[in-house]
Amino acid sequence: MSNARDAYPADRMTLREVGLRDGLQLVKRFPATTEKLAWIGAEYAAGVRHFEVGSFLPPERVPQFADVRDLIRFVASCRGARSAALALNERGLADALQTPLDEIVCVVSATEEHSQANMRRSRSAAVALVEKTAKARDVAGHKAIVNVGISMAFGCSLAGEVAEADVLRLVEQCLAAGADTIGIADTVGYAGPRQVAALTSAAARLCGNDHPLIVHLHDTRGLGLANASAAMDAGCRVLDGALGGLGGCPFAPGASGNVVFEDLAFLAESKGFATGIDIAALAEARAIAEREMPGEAFTGAIARAGLPANVRWHAAR
C-alpha cells in the first residue's frame, strides 16, 4: 500500500489541477503536447505540485489524451510534483502500471445509470475494478496511490437525487477494496454548501486519518466556490480545480466546468490556508491554454479583476 499521507499531508491544503484531464474532456480543440508541457511547466513554476494529466483510453476515441505517457514522464522529472491519470478498465490499468504514474484514478459512480453510461459496467463491477487495481499495484514495482473518485455523489442528471447513505456505503466499499484516497464529486453541480458540508464531514469520518478525502466540484450553477469553502470548513484539505474553469463530463448531461483553479487558490489563501501557489503566476499557464484553445470558454474572477492590491493574508493554517 502506498502512503497517501505523504502525498497529502493533513496539516496543509493541497489543490489538484485537473485541467489537463477533466478540463479537456469536452473541448473541440486541444493543445499540442509541447504546449501541454509548457502549461504544466508554468503551473509548476507557480507552485502547483499535483497534476491530473489524462486518461488511459484508446487514442482514436479520445485523441486529447494520446500523449498521457509523455505528460506523466514530464511530471516525474519535476521535483516534488505528482501525476494522476484515469484508468477506467483493465487495459488502462495495465498501461498505467507501465509508467511512473503517481496516482491511478478509478471512478465509481454513485448511480447505476451513470455507471453504465460512463463505464458500461455496474457499480459493483466498478468497485471490483478498484480491488483489482489495488492488488495489481501491490505486486507492481511502482507503488502508485489508488485514488477512487465517486462521481455523481451529490446528485445525478440521469437518476436524480442521490442519497447520502448510498454514497457513504460506496466509500466503505472502496476503502475495503483497497483505495488509498477517496474523492466525492459534484459532477453536474447539483450541490449547495449545506449538502457539501454534511457529506464531506461524514465521508471524512469514514476515511479517518490514513485515507485523504478529496472534494471535486463543478460550478454549473454558480455555487462552486461557496461549496469549496463549505468543504474546507468541514475539514477537507484536498480539493480539485481546473485552470480557467474548464471541464465537464461527456456522459453527464448538463455538466459544465470545474471550479476555477485560480479562484480556488485565492479562496484557500483568503481563508488562511497556505497553498504554496503564486496565484498571479498562474496567468502564464492560462495564457498558454487560451492561446491553444481560442474557441473555449474560460472563466474566473481573478483573471477578470486581478488580485487585490497589497493583499495581506491571515496567518496561514
According to DSSP, the residues that pair with 85 across neighbouring strands are 54, 104
- 171 touches 150 (CB < 8 A): yes
Annotated catalytic residue within 156, 174, 236, 249: 249
Q: How far apart are CA 17 and CA 49, in angstroms?
A: 8
Return the C-alpha cell found at 251.
456522459
Chain-centre distance for alpha carbon 80: 18
Other Cβ atoms closer than 10 A to 63 = 11
236 is catalytic: no
Contacts of 69 (CB under 8 A, 6+ apart): 99
- The backbone region for 190, taken as left when phi is positive above 0, alpha when psi lies in -120 to 50, beta otherwise, is alpha
Residue whose C-alpha is closest to residue 231's, from 208, 242, 215 = 215
Catalytic residues: 249
